[in-house]
Structure formats: C-alpha cells, structure tokens
Structure 1
Amino acid sequence: MSAVQESAPNKDEHVEGEENREEEADREGSDAEIDGGEDGDGQAKQEYIKKEFVARSYISPYGTDQEVKNLIVKNSRPLMKIRVSRPRREFGHEGFSYIERDAGESNMEIKVTKTGYFTKKKVLEIGLQAANQIKRFQSQTYYNRMVNAIVQYDPKDFISEMQKMSQQDQAISEKLDKFVDRVAYRIEEALQSNELINVFQDDFEMLGDEEAAQAAKISTVNMLPRTFFEHDYCKNKRVSCIKFHPTKPYLVAMSMVENLSFDDRCEITGKSFDSHVLIMNFSDAHQDNSINYITLNYVLETPIEISTLEFHPENSSVLVGGCISGQLIIWDLSCQESRISAGKKPEAIKMPDEEEDKTQQTIVKLKQLSLSSIVLSHKNYVADVQFIPSQVKVDRKNPPAEGRMVHFISVSEDGLVCIWDTRPVEKENLRVITDFIWKPFMQINLFRQDGSGELGLSRLLFHPKQSATTFWAASDEGDLLLIDWSVKAVGGGTEEGSKYAEYVKLTFDSERNYRPVLALERSPFFEDLILTIHDFHFSIWKTSIDFDHPIFRSANTFGSHNTCGAFSPTRAGVIFITKTDGIDVWDFVDQSNKPSLTLNFATSAITYFKFQHFKHEDKKQYMAYGDEQDGTLFLYEVPTNLKNPQEKEIEIIEEFWQREINKCNYVKDRRVVRKEEYQEQQKIEEIKRAMEEQQKEQLDDVEQQKEMEQEVQYQELLMKYKVEFGLMSQEELENWKKSQKKK
C-alpha cells in the first residue's frame, strides 16, 4: 500500500535541506498508513507545525570554536613600568665635556645575550585561505578593412624638391668648412698635448712624492692581517703583552694568561698555571704581501703566567718577564744549557732569525734562566718592567755599571718598587753559583701623601737620555706621578707615612678616572708630552709647565671601553687608541673633537697594542695587537696616510698644543679670578647681612624704648586715678615718683 503526499510551500517554514525533508515525508507517510487516516481520494493527510526560532551559541562538533579562542593573544603578565630619575644633587655638576656628534653617529647596538630577553614568544597557528577575485571585462576593437588605392606622381615635383635640398646641403657644407678651418689648429694642438702629457695624472701628485700624494686616501690593500695562532699554546688564552725585538726587525714576542673572568680568578687564587712565551718570525710576510702566515721560532716555558715582558735593550738575547704571582723571571735565548729541544745543529748556538733558511729551522724550547724568590718579590702581579738608562747612577752601594744597562725597575699595585740587577743572573755567573737566590737589591715602599694607604703603580716611563734618579709613573687611580728613588728617609723613621711620601715629587691628579692607567707613552717628537690611556678617555700631559691637569682630555668612548694605545712613531699628530671593538685613530691635524678614523677589523676584544719602532729599508711600519679569545696575534702594516708625515705637521701640531696650553692657562687664570670674585661677593654679602642685622637691632631698640615710655605713661596715669578714687594717698604717690626717678 503506497501513499502520495503533497504539501503547499510555506515561507515561514525552516528548510534544513532537501534530503531531510524527504526523510520526514517518508516517516510521516508511514505513520499515516499505520493510523489509517486517508481522505476521500485515498491519500494520507500531513499536518505541519510552525516552530519558533531560538538563537543559541554555535557549537562545533570538531572543536573549531576552541581553536578560534586559542588564536586570541592575551597578556600573560602585567605591563612593565620603568621610571628613570636622577638625584637632585647631580644637577649642574661640573666636569662634563660636550662634543659635536651627527644624528647618524648616535647608534646603539643591542647584542644577543646567552640568557635571552625578558619577553616570551608565543607560537600561533593561523590558517588563511586566499582566492583570486573574478572580474569580467569587455573591449571593443575596430576593424580596418583593406582598400586598394593608386597614386600618380608628377616628375616635376621631384625635380623642384631635389633642387631645394641641394641648395640647403651646399649652405650646410659651407658652414661646416668654415667651422673646420676655425677649430682645426686647436684640435691638432690638443691631440699633440695628449701624446706628450698624461691628462689623467693627479695635479697634486706632481707637487711631492707619490706616497705624500696618497695622504688623504686609505690603502685597504695593506690592511690585510697577518695572524698567528697555535692550538697547543694559544687555546683559551688571553694576550697580556707584546714586544718587538730591539735589533732583529722580524721577531716579536707574545705572552699569554688564562682567559678567566674576575670571579673565576678569585676562586682559584693561589693556583699556578703553566704558560708559554712565544717568539714569532714574520720575515716571509714582510717580503711577500701575499703570504699571511707567521712562523714560530721560540717557545719559552714558565711555571707561572706572565703579565708583562721586556727585551734587554743592549743584550737582545735576554728577555725579562713579570709574573702574576709578583715574581720576576729571565730567559737567555743564547744559553745552550736552557734549551729543552734545540735545532738540527745542536752544537751551534746561533739564534734562528730571518736570514736562515726556513726549511732548516725548528722550534726551540727554552726554560727560564732564573726565577726570583716569591718572598722577596711583589705581593701583587707585576704591572710593568722597564730598564734604567745607562747614564743613571742607581745607587752608591751597588757596583758601577761601567756604561752598561744592567738595572731595571718593576712596579706593582702593592705599592712596592723593586730595582733589580741582571749581572748576578747572567749565564756565566749562574754556571758557577748553582743555589743562587735572585732578589732585588733595592726596594722602596710608596704611600699616599694624605696617609690613606699604599700607592700602587700600573705603568712607568723613562727618558732614554736621562741621568737623574727619577721616573714617571701612573698610579692605580689614574694619577701621573714623578718619583725619585734616591730620596733618603728623614725623621728617624717614627712616622712612616710622612717619610715614604717624600719619594713622590710631583702629583698630577686625574679628576675623571679612578682606575689603573692602561698605557703610559711619551711622544717621540715632543719630549715633554706624555700620554695616559684610561678606560673611557685619554689625556695629554705637559710636564714642562706648572699645570697639574692635562692640557688635553678626549671625549668619552661610547659603546666600548679602551684597552691600550700609543703615539704614532712617524706622525706627530696621530694617536692610536685600541678598544674592545676596534681601533680609533685620532689625527689632530684633521680634528680633535672625535676620532678621524675608526678601524673596525677586530674579531674580538683587543687586550694589548704595540708599535714597531724599527725603520725598515722599504719604509714599512708594523703594529701588532692581541685578542682575548684564543691568544691570537694580529700583525698589520700601517697605511700610507697614517705612516707618512704631512707637510709641516710638526709645526702645526706644536701650534695646536700651544693653543691647548693657552686655553688651560686661561681656564686656570679665570678660576683664580672667579674665586676672587666669589670671595669678594661673599664679603659684600656678609657686610650686607651685618648691616641688616644692625638695622634690625636698632629698630628693636627703638621699639623697646617706645614700649617703655608707654609703660611709664600708663603707670603714671594709673597712679593718678588711684589717688582720685582714694585708693592711694598723696604721700604714697610722691614716694612712687621718687622710686621711678632713681630707676
């Protein structure tokens, strides 16, 4: 039995789909058959019920709504608040120096740290669907139909046109002939000049030599580094000192220490590390610029890390080193007994140098010739070592040196200055005495003049031609000192603070730095100019004038701190300042407010810097520096513009320093004048305050007198009324008046 269902369309009906509607119709039809409800035609009836639409939230059976909620980024922490303030007492503080800086130079580099930044990253999964939009365009093109055409020309037209063109060509030809006749001579002269004169030659180059003409250009070809790194000796080391050989132009010595931080060094205080001093040869790199490697000649073994080195100026085979433990160590490169592994010819004592065949050289290892007693040495690490000139008479008790340079001075931050004699530790004397104990023959203790404690030194400096028993030194707080070790103690030694302070003859205070001086150099062109390198600036001192402050103080270094520096050996107005990220070149001929050139070829922080003062025949000049990562030595050839002096450079720089001195003297005089003006103003203000106080006292006296008179009048009036009202007799009134007169 089958039934056909029909229904009229209803607009308010909620249609869910064609398939659902057919299923409901089949289900209702089957129910109608079971109930037996049919109309007269035999068809079953179907009744539709209108349902009310109820809005409710969307619930996805696949969890899509939860994924949408996860895409919303919410703050996982409260917003950070930063407040930057400055103490009121620092307003108007003196001592600042301002420099001119362009807007493009104020850059700040934010390096990636190991721990990461404080922000947290959140990964979001976002799905996007892209579809090209469909657009309909219509265009109408024009159709050009082909048409057959015929053109007939008259020969007369061509003849007249040709005649006109010939007349015009003739006129142009006449003008061209006149132009060629006019300029032919000058063109011929110019062609002949081109054959005789190079038109591409620089005009300024003809005024001087070729190297002087390149003074304003940087030669990047010669700035390629020659590097040295030995895995067995340099791994995880930091370069502490670099010194060039005084007589052999291609030998350079380098000492290294463990690359440890301050905290790590404090934890292992007292522990000894085996170290080495390496002596390299760069003769191959000097002769051929394409060769960038440096060979190793000597390995000097030491049981203690070396902080500073110094070659003997006269006996260049002797090398003195200062240890971190405060001891002094000495090597002799020519001593056969000190060699651990000699070359292929052990019977020869000849030093390997640049003249020998490199294929016949081997690395020579040597042990120390002598090591000083730790009890009689410094209590802190040796900061610097310098040989005393032969003209100086060190001490009367010590045997004369007979014109030889046999004494040297070592300084440290423990306030102790030691003077050593190299004659007892010579190889001939050590062969005779086996149990010799090396100790300084003279020691002086330095104390601060204010009695606050020991005066430590970080650098010292001698003049090569001096004969006095003095030397310049830099303290561990950035001051420049002149010390005389021949001064004898006075006062019987009862007050040690006062007697030791007499060793310091002059003190130049540094107001902007309270840390040890990194380098102390003397200008090779001006003997009274001394350079001190500090952490964030450098200073130039004039020792021949009575001025206790530097005549020039540079601007502060931004983004990094200084590590070392030196005067240029060949240019009077150039100073090299090494930083942790490169080298600043200050050319005072160009400008003095900021570096003229910055060499950013440092791969890691620079720890030590040194110039070679040896003059090569080919006029090459070298500078070397070491880094703190893997004990690598970098050797650079100085560019031409930084090596060759400019015309009248010494006179220009001398005038510049004189202007700086005049400026300092003006500031000094103005300080005296301003101090006098301030004192005068203080006196005027004190007189003014005294006069105001005096006037105030006078006014107070007048007011007090007036009050007393009013009081007397009141008492007289009171007594008068007492007499009138019978409260007092006339006799008592007379007695009261007599008592008032007595007062």
Structure 2
Amino acid sequence: MEIVYVYVKKRSEFGKQCNFSDRQAELSIDIAPNPQLTEQFVIQDPVDRGIQCSYDMSEHEVNTERFEMETRGINHVEGGWPKDVNPQELEQTIRFRKKVEKDENYINAIMQLGYVMEHCIKQNNAIDIYGEYFDEEDVVEVSDEVLSAKTINVFRDPHEIKRTATHLSWHPDANRKLAVAYSCLDFQRADVNMSYDSFIWDLENPNAPELTLKPSSPLVTLEYNPKDSHVLIGGCYNGQIACWDTRKGSLVAELSTIEFSHRDPVFGALWLQSKTGTECFSASTDGQVMWWDIRKINEPTEVLIMDISRKGVLENALGAIALEFEPTMPTKFMVGTEQGVVISCNRKAKTIAEKIVCTFSGHHGPIYALQRNPFYPKNFLTVGDWTARIWSEESRESCIMWTKYHMAYITDGAWSPQRPAVFFTTKMDGTVDIWDFVFKQSDPALSLKVCDEPLFSLKVQDNGCFLACGSRLGTATLLEVSPGLCTLQRNEKNAVSSFFERETRREKILEARHREMRLKEKGKTEVKDEEAEGEIKVNQEQMLAQTEEEFFDIINTEIRRKEIALKKALKKDIEDLEGGEEEEEEGEEEEGEGEREGGGEEGEGYKGEEEAEEKAKE
C-alpha cells in the first residue's frame, strides 16, 4: 500500500521561506526634498475634529465557505512485521519469531523495553478501565429510528449510445473513487458505433470521469487490487483479461493473448491473497476457471473445467457467471453457474475430481451474485431467478433461508460489511431491496425505487453507509443509507449466529427425515417389486399349466375324432362288403345268363371279387 498525502492549499498560501543572514546596510532609494512642495503647504487654523472615546463598530454579515469536518481513525490490527511476512499466515510469523529470538540483540532489546512496559503497566493499573462513565439509559438504540436511504450522486455514461453498467468496484483505500465497467450484454445486438470505454469516477465530481479506461473489447467486470490501488484487473467480452495501471494512463498495461484466454465473456474476476499481490483468477460461461499472474499474463498459470461429473470434459462443463473468494480461506473458492448450481472447489487438491468438492442446487436460472457472509464465512448468499437464498456449507441439499418469489427478476446482491444480518438486492424494475432478517424475514426492511430502467449491478462500500448500483442505461447511482442499516446493533452477532445455527440444525433434521422417508419408499418399492415378480411367476405357472391342459385337450379331442371317423369308415366298409356279396350272387346269376348269351365279362367279375376281399381285410 502506497502512502500518499495530497496538499490541498496552493504553495503561495504557505508564504515565502525567510532566510536571514548578516550583511552590510544598503541604501535602496534616496529622495531629496523639493522646495516647491513646501510653498504649497497651507496651515489650517482653526481645526474642528470630533473625538470619540470608544471604537467605531458596524454590523455586517458575509457568506463564509462551508467547512466540512471529517473524523478519521486507524484500525491497528498488528504491526512491526517486514513487508515479506504476511501477519495472517501462521507459519511465516512462527518462522520469523524463531529467527528473531536467535539474534544476539534480542535479549538486550527486551531488557530495555521492559522498563518502558513496566511503566505503562503501572500507569494502566492506576486507572479503572472498568469504570462506568455513561449510564445505559442515555444510550439511544439506533433501531428506533425510521430506516431510510437517499440519493447522493448520479454518474451517467457520457457516450450517446448507452451501455449497461455491468460491474462496480470501490477504491480500496479512501473509497473516494468508483470504477464502473460498461458493456452491452444483449447477444449480437451491440451497435457498431458503440464505445468500448469504461470509467473511473470521483465521487465529488459526477460531471466528468476522472480516468477513461480503453480496452480492446467492452469490459464485463472490473476490480481494484486491494494491495495496490493503482492496479485494476478487467474481464473483456471477447474472453481476454486486461490489466491497467492508473499511473501509466488510460491504455491497457497488460493483456492476455486471445489463444490462451476464455472463449466467452468473462463475468467474474477476483484478486487472490498472495505475497506479491499480482495473482488473480477469472471465470467465464465457457465453463473454465483460469488463474493468472499479471507479471506474466500471456497465458494462465492453471485451468480448471467446471465439470461436476469430475471427468474434466469441456463439453459437459457448466457456464460460470459469479465468483466468490474469501481471503481468510485462501484454498477455497466458489463458482455460480448458468444452470443454477453453486460449485464449491478446493484449489490445492491434486486431481480434478478432488478439486470439485461439492455442489449446491436450488435456483431455476443463472446465479448472478454469490458472496460469503463477512462475519460467518460458512454461510453464503446466492441471487438468481426471483429469489435470494442463504446457504450453509454444512447443509448441502437445501438452503437454510430464502426470500419470497418476486414479480421482477433479481439481478445482483451483496452483504453489508458492517451488519451480519443485512444484505442488499437489485431487481429488474429498478428497485433496491434492503433485507434485515433479524428485524423481518418475510419482507424487505426497506425498498427504494432508484430509477425506471432495470438495475444490473450493486456494490457496497466498506463502511456500509454507501452503496452504488448500475442500471441498463449506464447510470451509476450512489445511495446513502440511514445509520440504522450500517451500525452494528446490540447483541446482533450473537443473534445472527444462533439464527444460522438453528436454521442449519433444522435443515439437517429435515434432510435426515427426507432421507429416511426415501429409504422407506425405496424399501416399499423393492417389496412391491418382489411381490409383483412373485405374482408374475405364479401367473406364468398357471398360464403354462392352462396352456398344457388345453394342448392335451386338443390332442385327446383329435384322437377321439379320428377313432370315431375310423369306426365310421370300418362300418361303412362292412356294409359295402355285405352289399358286394349280394352283388356277387347277382353277378353269378347274370354270368350264367351272359355265358348263355354268348358273351360275358368274366374278368370284371373276378376283379370285383378281389377288391371286395381286400376291403374286408382292411
């Protein structure tokens, strides 16, 4: 962090420096007396002159310049560490302490500081630090006042062709500047003459931007570096990652090559917690998360594909829209996707399957905002479709709290950095909703109509008093909320902690109950399937027996029919045989007559006799 103090007064108002030295007397000018002037002198006698014993006074008033007072304070957490040692890293601090303790001057320095410390301890013991100087009755509860918000400034896109203010970022040090990324997110509807510029605005000068950022493609996201306020990282519509240094001007300082960049617009880009402060990562709807180092930004240092099947196939990857990174958990990050699924990842894992830890499903559409609670990082907020949901990492199957379904689409959301129970959401109808679930869960504590066009982006200042929201026509509106929404309430942390624990425990009980019911249903289904299989087997056996019985019935019927036909044929043959004998006798008589007549058919008579004998045998 670079410490800079800007002098407001002009140099001429400080006065010229006086340099005194010993030197000889010098005659600057010598005016000689003029005798002609003495002749013009007239003595006035007598002289009348009024004398008053008091001073002359008169009443007047002027318009003075307004003097604005500002109270500044320093939150001293821990100091005395070298620049290469991060106080938040436990291993680095332990290693540095061991190194210092081995130094020879360490004991001497401790002995010298011991006397000073002893004096401070005695002085501290002489004062009652537990003394009650103010009665509790005099304390005014902030929650008693009416919640409100007012518009402070409006920053409009200076170009004629208006674009959507897609992302906002506050200056990390003084919060006196606001970086706004402008882009047209309508697919293939961007005007040919549309500008690619994004701007950095000074809060006290809404008429013109302080600095213009000129990317090669419109910016979808833009973020200040928390360690170096002069450096910004931006994600472009064509998938490239751009880096600016405000000390070098408006042009891009570093730009990733398009061959190794994203294939879709970069919707999320965040800085990582590192020693150098030059590492960041980005996410895009092409289903990839890439890590970058701005010192060598030509290609990413690492790539992770958002494939929840853990196979690393880019065709099955989910498009990433929202990113979340908490510096207190440097190895974990979360990704919100187009399919309404939140993916929790671990960067330090070795394999792709281990890097994707778990998923949270609950939204019907894309997740536009994803942020952990600054006081309780295990709980995080998601915004998508028509609801905002609060989740717990311990309950993965369902969220612990959600808002009602609104008539308008919710586009963005963020937690308050000062109050753990307050979060903000923006909607397509131009409304900002401020929720305080300790006060009310069913409806927002305050709804403010900011503009007539849809709101797309939201960013809250570190002090929680100011928030900026960007609209579809490129208007960034700065709002100031009442002290009741940005001042920590009494016992609010304990109330919110117990609230999260209670709701998480309730969801766990419900999940266990649902799991038990599903197992019971599964068991019943299996029993029903077994019974159905048994019935099918019984039915099959019955059908087989019935079919076999019908088959044998048909066979027996056919046998009986053939026997009856045979008996009929035999009976007929016998009758024919008896009729043949009678005919034979008649034939013999006719033969005798024929012989007597001189001609007879002797062969035919014998042939008929033979046929009759064969039929009788059969």
TM-score, with structure 2 as normaliser? 0.61
Q: 1:464 and 1:294 mapped to 2: Cα distance?
A: 36
Instruction: Name the counterpart of 2:176.
Output: 250
In the alignment, which of 298, 318, 321 is matched to residue 458 of structure 1? 321
User: Cα distance, 1:610 vs. partner?
Assistant: 0.5
Q: What is the identity, as a one-letter code, of the residue corresponding to 1:524?
A: P
Going from structure 1 to structure 2, the CA distance change for 1:727 and 1:466 (only over 3 Å counts) comes to same
Q: How does 1:315-330 map to 2 (within 5 A)?
A: 315-330=228-243
Instruction: Name the counterpart of 1:373.
Output: 257
Contact 2:365–2:385 (CA under 8 A) maintained in structure 1: no
Instruction: Name the counterpart of 2:478.
Output: 635
Going from structure 1 to structure 2, the CA distance change for 1:261 and 1:683 (only over 3 Å counts) comes to closer
In the alignment, which of 349, 363, 381 is matched to residue 512 of structure 1? 363
The 10-residue stretch of structure 1 (593-602 or 578-587) with the greater mean CA deviation from structure 2: 593-602
Instruction: Name the counterpart of 1:656.
Output: 499
Q: What is the identity, as a one-letter code, of the residue corresponding to 1:244?
A: W
In the alignment, which of 316, 331, 336 is matched to residue 244 of structure 2? 331
User: Cα distance, 1:383 vs. partner?
Assistant: 1.3
User: Cα distance, 1:688 vs. partner?
Assistant: 3.7
Gaps in structure 2 of 5+ consecutive residues: 1-134, 573-618
User: Cα distance, 1:302 vs. partner?
Assistant: 3.4
Does residue 1:309 correspond to 2:235, yes or no? Answer: no
Q: What is the identity, as a one-letter code, of the residue corresponding to 1:481?
A: I
Q: 2:217 and 2:561 mapped to 1: Cα distance?
A: 106
**Secondary structure, aligned partner of 1:483:** strand
Q: 1:303 and 1:454 mapped to 2: Cα distance?
A: 27
Instruction: Name the counterpart of 1:262.
Output: 187
Does residue 1:567 correspond to 2:410, yes or no? Answer: no
Contact 2:267–2:322 (CA under 8 A) maintained in structure 1: yes
Going from structure 1 to structure 2, the CA distance change for 1:231 and 1:306 (only over 3 Å counts) comes to closer
**Secondary structure, aligned partner of 2:273:** coil
Instruction: Name the counterpart of 1:439.
Output: 298
Does residue 1:478 correspond to 2:322, yes or no? Answer: no
Q: 1:681 and 1:417 mapped to 2: Cα distance?
A: 44
Instruction: Name the counterpart of 2:146.
Output: 218
Contact 1:479–1:508 (CA under 8 A) maintained in structure 2: yes
Contact 2:199–2:209 (CA under 8 A) maintained in structure 1: no
**Secondary structure, aligned partner of 2:258:** coil
Instruction: Name the counterpart of 1:418.
Output: 290
User: Cα distance, 1:520 vs. partner?
Assistant: 1.3
Instruction: Name the counterpart of 2:453.
Output: 604
**Secondary structure, aligned partner of 1:375:** helix
Going from structure 1 to structure 2, the CA distance change for 1:676 and 1:322 (only over 3 Å counts) comes to closer
Q: 1:303 and 1:717 mapped to 2: Cα distance?
A: 99
Instruction: Name the counterpart of 1:130.
Output: none
Going from structure 1 to structure 2, the CA distance change for 1:372 and 1:718 (only over 3 Å counts) comes to closer
User: Cα distance, 1:208 vs. partner?
Assistant: 6.1
User: Cα distance, 1:609 vs. partner?
Assistant: 0.5
Q: How does 1:673-692 map to 2 (within 5 A)?
A: 673-690=516-533, 692=535
In the alignment, which of 614, 621, 628 is matched to residue 465 of structure 2? 621
In the alignment, which of 587, 595, 620 is matched to residue 444 of structure 2? 595
Deviation string, structure 1 residues 589-623 (Cα, Å, up to 9, x no partner): 13334434322233321111000014xxxxx7111
Q: What is the identity, as a one-letter code, of the residue corresponding to 1:506?
A: V
The 10-residue stretch of structure 1 (684-693 or 581-590) with the greater mean CA deviation from structure 2: 684-693
Contact 2:349–2:355 (CA under 8 A) maintained in structure 1: no
Instruction: Name the counterpart of 2:428.
Output: 580
**Secondary structure, aligned partner of 2:214:** strand
Deviation string, structure 1 residues 503-542 (Cα, Å, up to 9, x no partner): 6422314243242x21111101111112111122222222
Q: How does 1:661-672 map to 2 (within 5 A)?
A: 661-672=504-515
**Secondary structure, aligned partner of 2:356:** strand
Q: What is the identity, as a one-letter code, of the residue corresponding to 1:627?
A: S
Instruction: Name the counterpart of 1:409.
Output: 281
**Secondary structure, aligned partner of 1:225:** strand
Q: 1:698 and 1:408 mapped to 2: Cα distance?
A: 71
Deviation string, structure 1 residues 70-89 (Cα, Å, up to 9, x no partner): xxxxxxxxxxxxxxxxxxxx
Contact 2:307–2:316 (CA under 8 A) maintained in structure 1: yes
User: Cα distance, 1:676 vs. partner?
Assistant: 2.2
Contact 1:281–1:294 (CA under 8 A) maintained in structure 2: no
Does residue 1:280 correspond to 2:202, yes or no? Answer: yes
Q: What is the identity, as a one-letter code, of the residue corresponding to 2:426?
A: T
Q: How does 1:150-229 map to 2 (within 5 A)?
A: 207=137, 209-210=139-140, 212=141, 214-220=142-148, 223-229=149-155
Deviation string, structure 1 residues 79-136 (Cα, Å, up to 9, x no partner): xxxxxxxxxxxxxxxxxxxxxxxxxxxxxxxxxxxxxxxxxxxxxxxxxxxxxxxxxx
TM-score, with structure 1 as normaliser? 0.52
User: Cα distance, 1:381 vs. partner?
Assistant: 1.6
Contact 1:578–1:584 (CA under 8 A) maintained in structure 2: yes
User: Cα distance, 1:378 vs. partner?
Assistant: 2.1
In the alignment, which of 167, 172, 177 is matched to residue 241 of structure 1? 167
The 10-residue stretch of structure 1 (678-687 or 633-642) with the greater mean CA deviation from structure 2: 678-687
Q: What is the identity, as a one-letter code, of the residue corresponding to 2:467?
A: M
In the alignment, which of 368, 384, 399 is matched to residue 534 of structure 1? 384
Contact 2:235–2:265 (CA under 8 A) maintained in structure 1: yes
Going from structure 1 to structure 2, the CA distance change for 1:682 and 1:369 (only over 3 Å counts) comes to closer
Going from structure 1 to structure 2, the CA distance change for 1:263 and 1:309 (only over 3 Å counts) comes to closer
Contact 1:456–1:476 (CA under 8 A) maintained in structure 2: yes
Contact 1:586–1:597 (CA under 8 A) maintained in structure 2: yes
Identical aligned residues as a percent: 21
Going from structure 1 to structure 2, the CA distance change for 1:328 and 1:712 (only over 3 Å counts) comes to closer
Deviation string, structure 1 residues 692-733 (Cα, Å, up to 9, x no partner): 45665676658977997999899999999x99xx969xxxxx
Q: What is the identity, as a one-letter code, of the residue corresponding to 2:470?
A: G
Deviation string, structure 1 residues 427-453 (Cα, Å, up to 9, x no partner): xxxxxxxxxxx4134131515244543
The 10-residue stretch of structure 1 (404-413 or 693-702) with the greater mean CA deviation from structure 2: 693-702
Deviation string, structure 1 residues 137-168 (Cα, Å, up to 9, x no partner): xxxxxxxxxxxxxxxxxxxxxxxxxxxxxxxx
Q: 2:228 and 2:487 mapped to 1: Cα distance?
A: 31
Going from structure 1 to structure 2, the CA distance change for 1:295 and 1:219 (only over 3 Å counts) comes to farther
User: Cα distance, 1:661 vs. partner?
Assistant: 1.8
Contact 2:232–2:243 (CA under 8 A) maintained in structure 1: yes
**Secondary structure, aligned partner of 1:440:** coil
Q: 2:540 and 2:150 mapped to 1: Cα distance?
A: 85
**Secondary structure, aligned partner of 1:664:** helix
Contact 1:532–1:540 (CA under 8 A) maintained in structure 2: yes
**Secondary structure, aligned partner of 1:248:** coil
Contact 2:423–2:435 (CA under 8 A) maintained in structure 1: yes
Deviation string, structure 1 residues 353-379 (Cα, Å, up to 9, x no partner): xxxxxxxxxxxxx33323333333222
Contact 1:416–1:443 (CA under 8 A) maintained in structure 2: no
User: Cα distance, 1:576 vs. partner?
Assistant: 1.1
Going from structure 1 to structure 2, the CA distance change for 1:322 and 1:503 (only over 3 Å counts) comes to farther
Does residue 1:547 correspond to 2:396, yes or no? Answer: yes
**Secondary structure, aligned partner of 2:518:** helix
Q: What is the identity, as a one-letter code, of the residue corresponding to 2:325?
A: F
Q: 2:478 and 2:276 mapped to 1: Cα distance?
A: 33
Contact 2:282–2:290 (CA under 8 A) maintained in structure 1: yes
Task: Provide the aligned length of Structure 1 versus Structure 2.
Answer: 433
